[in-house]
Amino acid sequence: MKSITRSKTNRKVAGVIGGLANYTKMDSTILRVLFIILLFVTGFFPLLIAYGLLVFVLPNEGE
């Protein structure tokens, strides 16, 4: 079974969105743009908290 991991190669900040892109087989640029749009729609804090939690919860690729 495939699991979500943080990407080591496709990362800008911590590899969370790159890992989600690998898991869903989507382009990471599309997910990053969607994340930025949703940041403004939700008022920043919900997605920033979720992203911060995923940085600590998701293992790095290859661990």
**Could you tell me if residue 45 is inside a domain?**
yes
Domain with 25 in it: 16-57
**Could you tell me if residue 4 is inside a domain?**
no
Confidence at residue 20, expressed as pLDDT on a 0 to 100 scale = 93
**Could you tell me if residue 9 is inside a domain?**
no
More confident residue, 2 or 19: 19
CA distance 53 to 30: 21
**Could you tell me if residue 46 is inside a domain?**
yes
SS3 20: helix
**Domain tally, the chain:** 1
**Could you tell me if residue 8 is inside a domain?**
no
Closest C-alpha among 41, 56, 55 to residue 12 = 55
**Could you tell me if residue 23 is inside a domain?**
yes
- In tens, the pLDDT along 8-53 reads 998 998 999 999 999 999 999 999 999 999 999 998 899 999 999 9
